[in-house]
Structure 1
Amino acid sequence: MHFSILIILIFIPGCNTLQDHNSEVMPEDFYFSLTYGTYGKQKIDTFHDIVVKDLVEDGTIEAKISLTLDEKQAIYDEMMKIGVMNELELEKEEGCETEPPSISQWYIQMNGETKSFTYMSFCDYTEDALALVKLEDYIHKVVSSKEEYRDLPESNGYYE
């Protein structure tokens, strides 16, 4: 009797760990390129491990920055949560322009498929567009926390 309880106690924590781990296996061919920000001047390209930072008045600067497998897995997990490879509703019927414009252009490859889409800043975001903006922010935070990015020059000036 005590032996069965011991086996159950040892086995249960292992099961809980498996249930808490909800990420899918990232495909080997998972890459993305995201051009984003004011005038679409910033870029994160995992195909070529390139990051472009907008320095505003000083132009842009390009750096060789790679994401780790764990970082790519986390980004892949976030993409799967919002169904990025599915049909996305990005624009509502009524439109408005913002100045300066913020442009987002995605190119994603996984499982032998590719998908690309572009959208600009909105006054009223759809649920899908809002999820993508949050994903952009998440990816930017991952990249901007890397030492190679922090070593780049600071932006000079600002957009009005």
Structure 2
Amino acid sequence: MIITPQKIILSILSLSLILVAGCNHTQDNTNQKMPNDFNFSLTYGTYGKQKVDTFTNVVVKDLVEDGTIEANISLTQKEKQAIYNEMMKINIMGELKLDKEKECETEPASFSQWNVKSNEETKSFSYTTYCEYPEDVLNLIKLEEYIHEVVSSKKEYIALPEAKGHYE
């Protein structure tokens, strides 16, 4: 076998591509199989009056002037898997930078409290309103909105009374 400079260069390039591809490989957490123990509880919104709890299949809707109303609403496996995928995209079980020092008081106050269980690990955290929103908090707010869309599109939620009034 004759080793030519072209074969050496081609071999080096091939190895380099393999090494670069291996080094740049990151675990894709976006479409993992949802663990059997996956559940979450999210208390959110103005004064933290709304809630979605998959541990107990309870949803709380803020009716503003009429208080709150609680309903038994379950998410389907498909809905939970989609929410799980969104959580993995933002690495919710990882180290979140919530920058508490950037929180500020507003009226009406907004509050979010999360409890997430996945793979026998439970993570809890909370935050309020920010003057400057850290990227992780913006991602969590988008996730809250996504979860709210999923829940509010369910027939059991639609059957609940409409909110009366609004916060100023």
What SS class does the counterpart of residue 93 from structure 1 fall into? helix
- Please tell me whether the aligned partners of residues 33 and 44 of structure 1 are also in contact (alpha carbons under 8 angstroms): yes
- Aligned ranges for residues 30-69 of structure 1 at < 5 Å? 30-69=38-77
2:19 matched to which residue of 1?
A: none
Question: In the superposition, relative to structure 1, how do residues 127 and 146 fare at CA in structure 2: closer, same or farther (>3 Å)?
Answer: same
Counterpart-to-counterpart distance in 2, 1:73 and 1:94 = 32
Residues 133-155 of structure 1 deviation map (CA, whole Å, 9 limit, x = unaligned)? 00000000000000000000000
Counterpart amino acid of residue 41 in structure 2: S
What SS class does the counterpart of residue 27 from structure 1 fall into? coil
Residues 2-46 of structure 1 deviation map (CA, whole Å, 9 limit, x = unaligned)? xxxxxxxxxxxxxxxxxxxx6100000000000000000000000
Say whether 1:101 aligns with 2:139. no
Structure 1 residue 121, shift from structure 2 partner: 1.3
Structure 1 residue 122, shift from structure 2 partner: 1.1
Counterpart-to-counterpart distance in 1, 2:80 and 2:129 = 26
Counterpart amino acid of residue 151 in structure 2: V
Structure 1 residue 92, shift from structure 2 partner: 5.6
Residues 79-102 of structure 1 deviation map (CA, whole Å, 9 limit, x = unaligned)? 000000011011263442111110
Counterpart-to-counterpart distance in 2, 1:32 and 1:85 = 12
Residues 28-75 of structure 1 deviation map (CA, whole Å, 9 limit, x = unaligned)? 000000000000000000000000000001000000000000000000
Structure 1 residue 123, shift from structure 2 partner: 1.8
Gaps of 5+ in 2: 1-29
1:141 matched to which residue of 2?
A: 149
- Please tell me whether the aligned partners of residues 92 and 126 of structure 1 are also in contact (alpha carbons under 8 angstroms): no
What SS class does the counterpart of residue 149 from structure 2 fall into? helix
Counterpart-to-counterpart distance in 1, 2:65 and 2:103 = 29
2:135 matched to which residue of 1?
A: 127
Which of structures 1 and 2 has the bigger CA Rg? Answer: 2
TM-score (norm 2): 0.80
Say whether 1:111 aligns with 2:119. yes
- Please tell me whether the aligned partners of residues 41 and 55 of structure 2 are also in contact (alpha carbons under 8 angstroms): yes
Structure 1 residue 104, shift from structure 2 partner: 0.1
- Please tell me whether the aligned partners of residues 32 and 106 of structure 1 are also in contact (alpha carbons under 8 angstroms): yes
Counterpart amino acid of residue 59 in structure 2: V
Moved over 4 A (4+): none
Counterpart-to-counterpart distance in 2, 1:49 and 1:92 = 30
Number of equivalenced pairs? 139
Q: 1:82 aligns with which of 90, 97, 112?
A: 90
Counterpart amino acid of residue 44 in structure 1: V
What SS class does the counterpart of residue 86 from structure 1 fall into? coil
